Amino acid sequence: DGGITQSPKYLFRKEGQNVTLSCEQNLNHDAMYWYRQDPGQGLRLIYYSQIVNDFQKGDIAEGYSVSREKKESFPLTVTSAQKNPTAFYLCASSTGQVVSGYTFGSGTRLTVV
């Protein structure tokens, strides 16, 4: 079955540490996205990538970094520069065409301890 997989489901980080969230898709989608979701705030775009080896900042990119070395993979690193990283992180992919919807992963809940 084709889909998008995020791991881990739960992640705990000590202050000052960098952590990397994994996102893998086998849908042959060109575009991939990272969103952050906080309670009552909806989804906010962190980074997106439309093709391999290229990505753009979204609305809240500060304190985050990404890479897109393979079409299937779009990992997100939450750096120590991110002041309030505790949140639910969602990865999504799409064909990149206007008329298609997004396919989402099941999310990673990051907690800073």
Partner 1 sequence: SQQGEEDPQALSIQEGENATMNCSYKTSINNLQWYRQNSGRGLVHLILIRSNEREKHSGRLRVTLDTSKKSSSLLITASRAADTASYFCATDSGAGSYQLTFGKGTKLSVIP
Residues at the contact surface with partner 1, assessed by CB under 8 A: 6, 31, 33, 35, 40-43, 45, 48, 50, 56, 58-59, 88, 90, 92, 94, 96-99, 101-107, 109
Closest CA to 30 of 98, 89, 85: 98
In terms of CB distance, is 16 or 42 closer to partner 1?
A: 42
d(CA 54, CA 37): 24
Give the count of beta carbons closer than 10 Å to the beta carbon of residue 71.
18
d(CA 10, CA 109): 5
In terms of CB distance, is 80 or 103 closer to partner 1?
A: 103
Nearest approach, Cβ of residue 41 and partner 1 (Å): 6
In terms of CB distance, is 84 or 97 closer to partner 1?
A: 97
Nearest approach, Cβ of residue 18 and partner 1 (Å): 24
Identity of the residue numbered 54: D
